[in-house]
Amino acid sequence: MLILIILSVFSCLALAVMSVYLMFARPAGAVNARLESMDPSLALVENNPLTVMAERVADPINRIVPISAVEAAKLQKQLLQAGYRSREAATAFRAIQITMLIALPTLVAIVCFVLNRPLSNFLVWGMIGAGLGFYLPRYVLRRMIASRQRRITWGLADAMDLMVVAVEAGLGLNAALNRVGEELKELHPDMHHEIDLVNLEIRVGRSREEALHNLAERTGIDDIRSFVALLIQADRFGSSIAKAVRIFADSLRTKRRQRAEQAAQKAALKLLIPLTLFLFPVIILVILAPSLFNLYDFLFG
């Protein structure tokens, strides 16, 4: 047991030293530096020292514990919806997950050794730490996806209003998408990045239908899928894009208002829990305390 703990501590210290070295010793790539100098919005969110370190650690780990193709594709799609577009994002996530799966039980072993706990405590808390290390990255990823989808959903209504104005002013669909992306750069950056990717895919030669389908897959939002289907059908059958986008924008505004009303109705129900746990006992105690003191004096004088 003591030898296992010593080896685990040495491995963690060695990994920590290597991580610090890899984070600060590796220079930035020339291509990424040129992209960031041309347009900061084009810089990939994955190009940070932590992700670079995770990618380097991930290669030997994935050779030992390989991931299936179906699971890799599903994980890559989830990371796209969270905003991580790099091909190495799934590998980095896998490395973080396996590292936490090893690090948390090791930390539990160190704590049990320092506190001189029995082996049964280490086994129980080690299994809890391993489960937490396995599911915590997935939980964080799901929260990031939900948060980003919520931001994109709130920005979609403004994007539709701007697109109606741009299309009715005489701009084509590609020019309108480009203009809407520029206008949303400060207010809704997530929506701005997604529209910029659509414009970039169209510029490099992909069809508009394929670029819009990729937009729906990257976001995973039902409203985006409906908007993409609307644009594709209007473009395919030659109907008025301005009229279709205006109708969709009105329905989207109605949905947004209904979501706000639904959240307001849920707030009253959610307030019952803190009121019941914290406010009502204090009120009852303040009201009944004098009577309880008088009763105690009367009975036990």
Q: Which of 68-72, 84-88, 218-222 has the highest mean pLDDT?
A: 218-222
Neighbours of 12 (CB within 10 A): 16
The yes-or-no verdict on residue 161 having pLDDT over 80 is yes
Q: Find the mean pLDDT for residues 256-281.
A: 84
- Same domain as 180, residue 251: yes
Residue-wise pLDDT tens digits, 170-182: 888 888 888 888 8
Asked, for residue 222, whether it belongs to a domain, the answer is yes
pLDDT at 42 (0 to 100): 41
Q: Is 207 helix (H, G, I), strand (E, B) or coil?
A: coil
Kindly state whether residues 111 and 167 are assigned to the same domain.
Answer: no
Confidence tier at 191 by pLDDT (50, 70, 90): confident
My answer on whether 38 and 106 are in the same domain is: yes
| Highest averaged pLDDT of the listed ranges 7-16, 51-60, 224-233, 292-301 | 224-233
Question: At which residue do the structure tokens 């003591």 appear?
Answer: 2
* pLDDT (average), residues 138-155: 89
Provide Rg for the chain, Cα atoms: 27
Q: Tell me whether residue 158 is in a domain.
A: yes
Measured at the CA of 108, the angle between CA 58 and CA 56, to 5 degrees, comes to: 10
Answer yes or no: is 126 within a domain. no
CA-CA distance, 199 to 193, in Å (whole number)? 10
Q: Assess if residue 61 is contained within a domain.
A: yes
What average pLDDT does the segment 40-63 reach?
53
In a domain, 137, yes or no: no
Q: Could you tell me if 85 and 184 lie in one domain?
A: no
For residue 143, what pLDDT is reported? Answer: 92
Spatial CA neighbour of 226 closest among 245, 240, 207, 239: 245
pLDDT digits (tens, 9 = 90+) for 220-257: 888 888 888 888 888 777 777 788 888 888 888 888 88
Q: Is residue 26 part of a domain?
A: yes
CB 177 within 8 Å of CB 198: yes
23/109 same-domain check: yes
* pLDDT score at 52: 58
State the pTM of this model. 0.68
**Per-residue pLDDT at 38:** 45
Task: Name the percent of the chain lying above pLDDT 70.
Answer: 76
Mean pLDDT confidence for 59-82: 71
| Domain interval for residue 47 | 2-117
Residues 193-200: what's their mean pLDDT? 87
Residue 130 forms part of a structural domain: no
**Are both 75 and 180 inside the same structural domain?**
no
Let me know whether 105 and 185 are in one domain.
no
Do 102 and 7 belong to one domain? yes
* One domain, residues 113 and 189: no
* Angle in degrees, 0-180, between the axes of helices 222-237 and 241-270, rounded to the nearest 10: 170
Q: Average pLDDT of 203-225?
A: 86
Whether the CB-CB separation of 164 and 242 falls below 8 Å is answered with yes
Q: Which of 11-25, 58-72, 186-200, 262-276 has the lowest mean pLDDT?
A: 11-25
| pLDDT range class, residue 28, cuts 50, 70, 90 | very low
Residues 261 and 167 in one domain: yes
Residue 11, Cβ neighbours under 10 Å: how many? 13
Does the structure show a pLDDT above 50 at 26? no
Within-domain flag for 187: yes
Mean pLDDT check: name the lowest of 8-17, 105-114, 196-205: 8-17
Of 58, 92, 117, the position where a domain reaches its end is 117
| pLDDT of amino acid 10 | 61
Angstrom distances, CA of residue 178 to CA of 137, 154, 229, 292? 35, 19, 19, 72
Please report, for the domain that includes residue 210, its CATH number: 1.20.81
Tally the domains of the chain: 2
Question: Do 169 and 94 reside in the same domain of the chain?
Answer: no
Higher pLDDT, 88 or 251: 251
Mean of pLDDT over the chain: 76
113 and 192 housed in the same domain: no
